[in-house]
Amino acid sequence: MLTTTSITDRNEWNSRLRDLPYAHVLQTWEWGEFKRETTGWLPMRLAFEHSGRSVALASIGVRRLGPLKIMYAPKGPVFADDHSQDWEHVIDQLAEIARRERAIWLKIDPDVPVASGIPGEEDDQPEPRGQALLEHLAVRGWRFSADQVQFRNTILIDLARDEDDLLAAMSQNTRRKIRVAEREGVYVRTATPEDLPVLYELYRVTAARDGFLIRPPAYYELEWRAMMEQGLAHALIAEVDQRPVAHVILFHFGKKCWYFTGASANEARDKMPNYLLQWEAMRWAKATGYTLYDMWGAPTHFDESDPLWGVYGFKRGFRGIVTRYAGAWDYAPSTLLYRAYTEAMPRVRQWLQRR
């Protein structure tokens, strides 16, 4: 029988999470606290056990809407092993929790691969365990969500190889641009919390140039500072003549290091600082003991219509493996309430963006 226990101790939660094969930084204690403070999502941290054995963990953010709730487990639940029957029990238990909590919906986004490679190409390979999870979700009444909060696909780089092999695997053009940055005097250094205004300014410039919306400085100040001070984030700044021209912010936990945020100035782009930054980020992650480097985002549709197509051209030069995940799925105890909410919210978001 599956039992569910609430975990209320930070060290216990992170320790248990760190040992799981699908552990994700967005399921850490610190991320839950950050979302509580900035956006009002109250974390519910649950451990699922069967016969004294951990089966899964799930940090679920909860927000009230009057007498009802909405619930979201970013990159969760995190499964403990590869027993698909246990996974099915956890999914069913989560649906029961949604009903008990009177949720309009519970969104999950397990970091479970369902395939690798580009769809329809020679390297396209399904992952049986992930495919079985998708089948169970569909059969048990979960809906593939129209609101995919996190990236559904990414590119993974195996850091178990030595540095020479990592470089040799990259495209010739990518290696050349790394050498250009080194030759042009690009210098990469570790950022500290005192550099947070610099990190934000570079991010603001990038958002203005590329046309995407960002939050106010206080949001990123809190996010980056909290994760850096808790040992879950590491930032690198590229400089030319002591002027910051680009940065990367890495999140890291368990076995993975994620390239979470990148930004660059409008100047010195011809010196290729972003290429050297990625290489130094991989070197740092490898030296720190991480075995996978996650480039955090690849196209949903692998053609030029996808908004990520341009940045995908940059990332694929580092020659990782395209990995496709289960994506976000919603469980709605009431179809009527779910439809009303999902139809209203896009209009609310459009109104907020206009303001």
Sheet containing strand 292-294, strands side by side = 125-126, 113-116, 321-325, 153-158, 292-294, 256-264, 243-253, 233-240, 187-190
Would you tell me which CATH number, out of the four given (3.90.110.10, 3.30.930.10, 3.40.50.1970, 3.40.630.30), belongs to the domain 155-323?
3.40.630.30
> Reduced to 3 DSSP states, what percent helix, strand and coil does the chain have, rounded to the nearest 5?
45, 30, 30
Residues 6+ apart with CB under 8 A from 308: 151, 297, 298, 299, 300
Looking at the domain that runs over 2-148+327-354, which CATH code has it been given? 3.40.630.30
With bands split at pLDDT 50, 70 and 90, how would you rate the model's confidence at 266? Answer: very high
Question: Do strands 187-190 and 233-240 pair parallel, antiparallel, or not at all (unpaired)?
Answer: antiparallel
Question: Do strands 292-294 and 256-264 pair parallel, antiparallel, or not at all (unpaired)?
Answer: parallel
Query: CA–CA separation, 234 vs 252, rounded Å?
Result: 8
Task: Please report, for the chain, the start and end positions of each structural domain, with discontinuous segments joined by +.
Answer: 2-148+327-354, 155-323
pLDDT at 107 over 90: yes
Contact 242, 186 (CB under 8 A): no
Query: CA–CA separation, 244 vs 187, rounded Å?
Result: 9
Q: How many CB atoms lie within 10 A of CB 96?
A: 12
pLDDT digits (tens, 9 = 90+) for 141-181: 999 999 999 999 999 999 999 999 999 999 999 999 999 99
With bands split at pLDDT 50, 70 and 90, how would you rate the model's confidence at 348? Answer: low
pLDDT at 347 over 70: no
Return mean pLDDT, the chain: 94
Closest CA to 89 of 103, 98, 99, 79: 79
pLDDT at 97 over 70: yes
Query: CA–CA separation, 29 vs 187, rounded Å?
Result: 34
State the pLDDT at residue 51.
81
Tell me whether the CATH fold assigned to 2-148+327-354 matches the one assigned to 155-323.
yes
Extract the tokens encoding 47.
């451990």
pLDDT digits (tens, 9 = 90+) for 285-327: 999 999 999 999 999 999 999 999 999 999 999 999 999 999 9
Query: CA–CA separation, 10 vs 329, rounded Å?
Result: 27
Ramachandran assignment for 51, one of left (phi > 0), alpha (psi -120 to 50 degrees), beta (any other): left
pLDDT digits (tens, 9 = 90+) for 194-240: 999 999 999 999 999 998 889 999 999 999 999 999 999 999 999 99
**Which residue did the predictor score with more confidence, 293 or 339?**
293
With bands split at pLDDT 50, 70 and 90, how would you rate the model's confidence at 83? Answer: low
- What does the H/E/C string look like for 51-63? CCEEEEEEEEEEE
With bands split at pLDDT 50, 70 and 90, how would you rate the model's confidence at 1? Answer: confident
In the DSSP assignment, the letter for residue 14 is: H
Residue 23 CB burial class (10 angstroms; 0-12, 13-18, ≥19): buried
